[in-house]
Structure 1
Amino acid sequence: MTQRSDKQDPYAEREAQKYEKPIPSREYIMDLLEQAGRPMSREAIAEALKLESDDELEGLRRRLRAMERDGQLLFNRRREYGLISKMDLVRGRVQGHPDGFGFLIPDDGSDDLFLSGREMRVAFHGDRVLGRVAGIDRRGRREGAIVEVLERAHKTVVGRLFIEGGVAFVVPDNKRISQDILVPTENLGPAEHNQIVTVEIAQPPTPFRQAIGQVVEVLGDHMAPGMEIDVAIRAHSLPQVWSPQTEAQIAELSEEVKEEHKQEPGRENIRHLPLVTIDSEDARDFDDAVYCEPNRKGWRLLVAIADVSHYVEPDSPLDKDAIERGNSVYFPERVIPMLPEILSNGLCSLNPEVDRLCMVCDMQLDKTGVLKGYTFYPAVMYSHARLTYNKVAGMLIDEDADLCRQYAGVLPHLHNLYQLYQTLRQRRSKRGAIDFDTTETRIVFGEDRKIESIVPTERNDAHKLIEECMIIANVATARFLLEHKVPALYRVHEGPKPEKLEALREFLGEFGLKLGGGDSPEGKHFSKLLEQIAERPDAHLIQTVMLRTLQQAVYSPDNVGHFGLAFDAYAHFTSPIRRYPDLLVHRAIRHVIKHKKGGFLQRKKLPPFRYDHAAMENLGEHCSQTERRADEATRDAVDWLKCEFMLDKVGEEYNGTISSVTSFGLFIELDEVFVEGLVHVTSLENDYYHFDPAHHRLIGERQRQMFRLGDRVRVKLARVDLEERKMDFMLLESLTGETFHGELPERGGKGGGRGKKTGKKTAGKKRSSKKSTSRSDEGGGRKKTGKKTSKKSTRRRGKKKTD
């Protein structure tokens, strides 16, 4: 008989706050299994926990299933639950590759496991799985085997329908899903051969057969114009329909803030302060407002953020839909919002000249821009002006008389903000934050939605002013969370991995350059090197290699600092309308404020927050994944649009820059039109080419012609493949014209290919790498919307406003 547990559940109070009929916490159940030293059946666990009523037993069943789904427990063939941590199993998410293999990305941050095509038969890209280390392959990689699929990432898949020889199947549009979906003839509905359809997965794949699906939607004929966004939404499984429960909940909301909410206890009235919003011309949701005033100590800066946590309560239908989405997704001329429009553009949006609820970060900075103090409090505010970046720049930099007269009431406060911004920029340089000089672009549409041009965007001082205000508010937020030891999500950006750092140092050595900091360089060392190379003709090449050395920023409850911004702690506080991690941060702040007033400081212990570390860990991983999902979806749509733009330009010649070098060819970004395509290695003439990955170059074996990252070339557009969203170029000449002197790199299975002796067009291989974008989580563009104008524009993939 299993010994009963008499130890008190340390998380009982938290569970009582979260559930009307609480049951033992996950930690308590895991502790029980740890003490038992063996797997236990559900009945044995219930007996040990002294659970007897039907409600308690049903609650336990659901909790155990949830723990199984989250990879904390494994349900074995003896129908017993065991601890994953005791089974040498790896929990993580599958990342598929177009060529059929994949990787298991472990949740614990350890090295990825290579998954062969055979292992990938049972899983799709994005699935959460349990795996084990099955061995080491000939390239030294850890090989994995999938033990169990914990959670399926795709309920539906969009793709092209083929009906051949009486057999119907769908080839997924998402190239990371390499398995076709079988569709029985009775599940085809009205769909026809060669149409783009959405299939619902009726039976997931097994080791012995493919997935089976049912056509639930016909999007249109293959390659029909205007489908790029609909396809991208479905290909990446972006939620776009509100649940009936959410629809019912928002139906009860009014257009204006209720008076009783403005006057609730603890909410301060700051309507007299001339707060303003500063956004792009086409923005529709305003989640931040700013105000600055000088004082004898330096500066008082207020950053007021939409009080989304007041309206979106935990576990409500709104909250569940927001978690599923994770963030808003901005496509050209279309937005998939995280929150319904009545909130995102209405009640939560800090619209001009109306009362709005907000959460305020009230900061004191000294005369050198050092953050000396901060307080957080809920408030009711009144935006005194809706300003744009261009208008603010026009007043502060160009001194436009008309604009200055129009906004005379807030102009002195804008000058205060600008003075503080200049101080913060100086602090930024001294701190060593990394500033990469990258070009962002936007697509300009005509009235018929035909692309007129792709143009670079310019960031003026007004963009940077808001960026610095948001950054310092996020720093204050992180310090507040650490001070009160409340579980929360931090925006963490780790330094480069050792192997990438070693490759970077080797690369820099060839240029006579050195990166400081030894084995653990900091952001300031990268920043110093960027200053050193600023005037060099090869600065773009060196900067690109440095940029690709950095890791991606992610959300995590474990604060490890922000490498790119050079801060010890950083949390996202400023965009709860469009990022779920920010909403979680607001809830953590509200939890502290509430219990501060309850006198917890005298007891020196904060009552348990409804989210513990494990819950935050799961939410952080989920939000990081939805952020990547959004980036991939928008990139797919924009790549389609760019290919569509270039369809009638086949045969035209362009100058461009080598933006990436691979074993199979050169990716070229064209000047002026800012699109990217491939010069396949087999289209390079009259030589064999060797790939040198350490130095990002291809080298001709006989003529020693060298093509290196950052080199200038002239190319001709040879082919546009709208289905694959790629373009092929023919190389006409190298504008750099460098010849390699030295020993050729060994092929080692990675060599290039034999160049062609003629100028015939080649199809080119499927892309296996994408152009890098900034990973330091700062600056860049801000919110985008689907607002229509006579001249419409949208930003291409790249950096969003991630402050």
Structure 2
Amino acid sequence: MNLKQSIEEIIKQPDYEPMSVSDFQDALGLNSADSFRDLIKVLVELEQTGLIERTKTDRYQRKETSKSNSKLIKGTLSQNKKGFAFLRPEDDEMEDIFIPPTKINRALDGDTVIVEIQKSRGEHKGKVEGEVKSIEKHSVTQVVGTYSEAKHFGFVIPDDKRIMQDIFIPKGQSLGAVDGHKVLVQITKYADGTDNPEGHISAILGHKNDPGVDILSIIYQHGIEIEFPDNVLKEAEDVPEEIEPSEIEGRRDLRDDLTITIDGADAKDLDDAIAVKKLKNGNTELTVSIADVSYYVKEDSALDQEAYDRATSVYLVDRVIPMIPHRLSNGICSLNPEVDRLTLSCRMEINARGEVVKHEIFDSVIHSNYRMTYDAVNKIITDQDPQVRAQYKELTPMLDLAQDLSNRLISMRRRRGEIDFDINEAKVLVNEEGIPTDVQMRERGEGERLIESFMLAANETVAEHFNKMEVPFIYRVHEQPKSERLRQFFDFITNFGIMIKGTGEDIHPTTLQNIQEEVEGRPEQMVISTMMLRSMQQAHYDDVNLGHFGLSAEYYTHFTSPIRRYPDLTVHRLIRKYLIENSMDKKELRHWEDTLPELAEHTSQRERRAIEAERDTDELKKAEYMIQHIGDEFEGIISSVANFGMFVELPNTIEGMVHIANMTDDYYHFDERQMALIGERQAKVFRIGDEVKVKVTHVDVDERMIDFQIVGMPLPKNDKSQRPARGKTIQAKTRGKSLDKAKDDNNNKGNKKKRKQRKGKNARKKDKQGKTNHKPFYKDKSVKKKSRRKKK
């Protein structure tokens, strides 16, 4: 029996379950490289003949029993702003299903829908696509957009471009809004047949050009609450500003230990403090003390319910929206210097190899001696600045010891396989009116790495402690990348001469770590790190310990930031119940077993919402910032390539697009495998990682899009640089000319161009019925060709 017959026999077994490549290897006893290649070849052949198909998790299932053959599939609609959508089936094993714009049938992004599987009849003939047959649950209940007023009614044009339908506002439901107002609309009736969704305006955010309204619109668009309810604020007001002596009783007193906080200069919610000592046995003692927020935010209180709903603080370019009121986050819970504060502490004894050999977790009281900044610490431990070291002479021995400990912890994590992506991050600076003034790179010096190392050590230690107790707990997990994505990444890096053996299944983090080490210092380092990051799964919260792939850690949780993350607050509660109060009875255990899965899912979703809002505000302000640089030239690196063009990232992380229509020196084809655009005549290649010089030609603030042109390539006629920058007017000056004047100049150019076209001899003329006798140039050309043939 040959290999193909053996595989067919396995697949045809009545109890056959989908198998991975490694499952087939084990079942058939295939160990050599040659047999592996033969196996892959046979599986591909069987897939092409229709006997099997590959699932999203890279397993092979019988096609006749495939769930995707079912006519109706339930899932979540994910809409693209270009009009089409994908169905994300409830069954994780199934692939996403493409839905063309004509078959979305008034469903909105995020809706739970029933989709019928069909064969495409258009340009993708023969491929599978779906059509929305019914909407089970609407996800969008409110919309942020711009109000447009008519005589007896109005419309709201959604800011979210994935919502393709304007919202109809009946007479008397506009709350007095006028043209150009940014508004919040509550949907009262969803689209039915040809009718648009209907709603009423519940809030007017301001005129679209008013300072701050742009950010406010994004906040409301993501459903983020800014103000705290009155009952929450009252509970916060009732919390005393100072600690009573009775509250310290029973806690371990650490007030005599030299303790410091290290944070950014503008941080106000200081939730972690450190103390480092050298022990007689040569080991180092690290104590990480975290604000005891759970002592003040009682379970099921109004404060707790609001914190759970928010789940995280949101950090935007011009403001912070806190998880708990500022009275707590910046007051009694903040580990400010020279005051007593209640904390939970994780004390670790760490050996020369950076391994935790002993630990304790307990409630405590501390008295922070110094509020240090990253800049000051970097001057002490990295720059060895004599003036700053003299200023903090009491601290320098502990900080030198802390740096040595941090280096040992970093080396330990590197040995076990941690992947340090070290992706460039930038901070957009804005003035009081919300106008961006600069985009600066975030520094990651020794001080930042030191605190990061200490917090990682504490998080791992707490997670391991509770995992070994075998009790309900919440973990921060990062699962192994899906093999298909890794295969694509491995394929991509072959363009840079890096070859990886294997299929991407059951890969160890050290493989990716080795790739990083190989490209360190090379021009393509940042691009390869970015592409590697894109191949990863997203970290999230879970009640099951699944490990942390990126850290190469068997156990991990979030313990160190209860002021700004609800999972950390939950971990503190569990520490109090399990270790301090010993109050976890069977009823309580069942409660947490039932509660934690939902809590993990909810907080993961809220985290993604916060990240999206932060990204949207960053992109908005970066686009605004680049208006003043229209016409300027920059060096950049190609960060992404597609069939419509390529994206170029500048050194300050701002990204813009070079559209393929503007690459005029050749006709370029997209090579997906190489992730490159290749010229047809000159064979010129633009690939990810290449350095290019670009010129800023156009900015669309509304779409948050920046257009670049390759320097030296002439723009085609009617190029985008002739259009004014779109979006709100920004009162700022650059090189002695206001942006308003620059926009007026662009507008005037565009108007002159239009007038000239209207006066041309080929201008379209309409008859009484409004029809035109104008023929497109390609039709005229085809007629001429036919007439030439007849003459011949």
Say whether the fold is shared (TM-score over 0.5): yes
Separation of aligned partners in 2, 1:384 and 1:141: 65
- Give yes or no for contact 1:299–1:420 (8 Å, CA) kept in 2: yes
State the secondary structure of the residue aligned to 1:427. Answer: helix
State the secondary structure of the residue aligned to 1:364. Answer: strand
Residue of structure 1 aligned with 2:393, choices 408, 433, 449: 408
The aligned counterpart of 1:81 is none
**One-letter amino acid of the counterpart of residue 475, structure 1:** E
**One-letter amino acid of the counterpart of residue 289, structure 1:** A
**One-letter amino acid of the counterpart of residue 184, structure 1:** P
1:761 partnered with 2:726: no
**One-letter amino acid of the counterpart of residue 295, structure 2:** H
**One-letter amino acid of the counterpart of residue 676, structure 1:** E
- Give yes or no for contact 1:113–1:133 (8 Å, CA) kept in 2: no
Separation of aligned partners in 2, 1:637 and 1:118: 32
Alignment of 1:48-67 (within 5 A): none
1:182 partnered with 2:168: yes
**One-letter amino acid of the counterpart of residue 392, structure 2:** Y
Residue of structure 1 aligned with 2:710, choices 725, 731, 753: 731
Deviation string 1:426-447 (CA, Å, 9 cap, x unpaired) is 1122122112242222233456
- Give yes or no for contact 2:211–2:433 (8 Å, CA) kept in 1: no
1:275 partnered with 2:259: yes
Residues 355/441 of structure 1: CA separation in 2 closer, same or farther (3 Å cut): same
- Aligned residue pairs, count: 648
1:702 partnered with 2:681: yes
Separation of aligned partners in 2, 1:443 and 1:184: 40
The aligned counterpart of 1:591 is 577
Residue 483 of structure 1: how far off its partner (Å): 1.4
Separation of aligned partners in 2, 1:471 and 1:242: 32
The aligned counterpart of 1:311 is 296
The aligned counterpart of 1:489 is 474
Residues 621/533 of structure 1: CA separation in 2 closer, same or farther (3 Å cut): same
Residue 731 of structure 1: how far off its partner (Å): 2.1
The aligned counterpart of 1:669 is 649
Residues 549/436 of structure 1: CA separation in 2 closer, same or farther (3 Å cut): same
Residue of structure 1 aligned with 2:690, choices 711, 718, 726: 711
Separation of aligned partners in 2, 1:283 and 1:724: 32
Residue 223 of structure 1: how far off its partner (Å): 3.8
Separation of aligned partners in 2, 1:141 and 1:163: 42
Residue of structure 1 aligned with 2:542, choices 542, 556, 580: 556
**One-letter amino acid of the counterpart of residue 268, structure 1:** R
Residue of structure 2 aligned with 1:506, choices 487, 491, 496: 491
Give the number of the structure whose residues are more often helix, by fraction: 2
Separation of aligned partners in 1, 2:337 and 2:88: 45
Residue 397 of structure 1: how far off its partner (Å): 2.5
The aligned counterpart of 1:300 is 285
Residue 101 of structure 1: how far off its partner (Å): 3.8
State the secondary structure of the residue aligned to 2:300. Answer: coil
- Give yes or no for contact 1:657–1:668 (8 Å, CA) kept in 2: yes
State the secondary structure of the residue aligned to 1:399. Answer: coil
Normalising by structure 2, we get a TM-score of: 0.76
Alignment of 1:417-436 (within 5 A): 417-436=402-421
Listed as ranges, the gaps of 5+ residues in structure 1 are: 1-86, 735-754, 765-803
1:161 partnered with 2:147: yes
**One-letter amino acid of the counterpart of residue 231, structure 1:** S
1:544 partnered with 2:530: yes
The aligned counterpart of 1:524 is 510
The aligned counterpart of 2:177 is 191
Residues 465/210 of structure 1: CA separation in 2 closer, same or farther (3 Å cut): same
The aligned counterpart of 1:352 is 337
Separation of aligned partners in 1, 2:378 and 2:665: 54
The aligned counterpart of 1:640 is 620
Separation of aligned partners in 2, 1:576 and 1:430: 30
- Give yes or no for contact 1:121–1:206 (8 Å, CA) kept in 2: no
**One-letter amino acid of the counterpart of residue 486, structure 2:** L
Residues 307/161 of structure 1: CA separation in 2 closer, same or farther (3 Å cut): same
Separation of aligned partners in 2, 1:293 and 1:141: 64
Residues 760/360 of structure 1: CA separation in 2 closer, same or farther (3 Å cut): same
Separation of aligned partners in 2, 1:607 and 1:480: 22
Separation of aligned partners in 2, 1:88 and 1:362: 58
1:98 partnered with 2:77: no
Separation of aligned partners in 2, 1:513 and 1:433: 20
The aligned counterpart of 1:439 is 424
State the secondary structure of the residue aligned to 1:609. Answer: helix
1:261 partnered with 2:236: no
1:650 partnered with 2:630: yes
Alignment of 1:777-792 (within 5 A): none
The aligned counterpart of 1:288 is 272
Residue 352 of structure 1: how far off its partner (Å): 0.9
State the secondary structure of the residue aligned to 1:218. Answer: strand
State the secondary structure of the residue aligned to 1:495. Answer: coil
State the secondary structure of the residue aligned to 1:532. Answer: helix
The aligned counterpart of 2:38 is none
**One-letter amino acid of the counterpart of residue 290, structure 1:** I
**One-letter amino acid of the counterpart of residue 615, structure 2:** R
The aligned counterpart of 1:327 is 312
Residue 448 of structure 1: how far off its partner (Å): 6.2
- Give yes or no for contact 2:641–2:647 (8 Å, CA) kept in 1: yes
Residues 302/112 of structure 1: CA separation in 2 closer, same or farther (3 Å cut): farther
- Give yes or no for contact 1:488–1:588 (8 Å, CA) kept in 2: yes
Residues 155/358 of structure 1: CA separation in 2 closer, same or farther (3 Å cut): farther
Separation of aligned partners in 2, 1:360 and 1:648: 49
**One-letter amino acid of the counterpart of residue 628, structure 1:** R
Separation of aligned partners in 1, 2:175 and 2:98: 35
Alignment of 1:555-634 (within 5 A): 555-594=541-580, 596=582, 608-609=588-589, 611-634=591-614
Residues 247/105 of structure 1: CA separation in 2 closer, same or farther (3 Å cut): farther
Residue 606 of structure 1: how far off its partner (Å): 6.5
1:372 partnered with 2:331: no
State the secondary structure of the residue aligned to 1:526. Answer: helix
Percent identity of paired positions between Structure 1 and Structure 2: 36
Residue of structure 1 aligned with 2:440, choices 455, 463, 474: 455
- Give yes or no for contact 1:688–1:700 (8 Å, CA) kept in 2: yes
Residue 329 of structure 1: how far off its partner (Å): 0.6
Residue of structure 2 aligned with 1:362, choices 347, 351, 372: 347
Residue of structure 2 aligned with 1:221, choices 207, 222, 233: 207
The aligned counterpart of 1:745 is none
Separation of aligned partners in 1, 2:299 and 2:319: 28
- Give yes or no for contact 2:103–2:130 (8 Å, CA) kept in 1: no
Residues 241/96 of structure 1: CA separation in 2 closer, same or farther (3 Å cut): farther
**One-letter amino acid of the counterpart of residue 543, structure 1:** S
1:477 partnered with 2:436: no
Separation of aligned partners in 2, 1:614 and 1:104: 29
Normalising by structure 1, we get a TM-score of: 0.75
Separation of aligned partners in 1, 2:346 and 2:129: 46
Deviation string 1:371-397 (CA, Å, 9 cap, x unpaired) is 223221111111111111111122223
- Give yes or no for contact 2:459–2:558 (8 Å, CA) kept in 1: yes
Listed as ranges, the gaps of 5+ residues in structure 2 are: 1-69, 724-792
- Give yes or no for contact 1:640–1:725 (8 Å, CA) kept in 2: yes
**One-letter amino acid of the counterpart of residue 296, structure 2:** Y
- Give yes or no for contact 2:419–2:509 (8 Å, CA) kept in 1: yes
Separation of aligned partners in 1, 2:291 and 2:435: 36
State the secondary structure of the residue aligned to 2:531. Answer: helix
Moved more, 400-409 or 389-398: 400-409
Residues 141/352 of structure 1: CA separation in 2 closer, same or farther (3 Å cut): farther
Q: Which has the larger radius of gyration?
A: 2
Residues 306/120 of structure 1: CA separation in 2 closer, same or farther (3 Å cut): farther
Separation of aligned partners in 2, 1:407 and 1:361: 26
Residue of structure 2 aligned with 1:170, choices 156, 162, 171: 156
Residues 249/448 of structure 1: CA separation in 2 closer, same or farther (3 Å cut): closer
Deviation string 1:61-119 (CA, Å, 9 cap, x unpaired) is xxxxxxxxxxxxxxxxxxxxxxxxxx999887553321344445567754464373577
**One-letter amino acid of the counterpart of residue 162, structure 1:** S
Residue of structure 1 aligned with 2:373, choices 384, 388, 395: 388
The aligned counterpart of 1:680 is 659
Separation of aligned partners in 1, 2:645 and 2:377: 45
Alignment of 1:95-174 (within 5 A): 95-105=78-88, 109-111=92-94, 113-114=96-97, 116=99, 117=101, 124-126=108-110, 129=112, 134=117, 143=130, 149=136, 153-164=139-150, 166-174=152-160
State the secondary structure of the residue aligned to 1:639. Answer: helix
State the secondary structure of the residue aligned to 1:565. Answer: coil
Alignment of 1:224-239 (within 5 A): 224-239=210-225
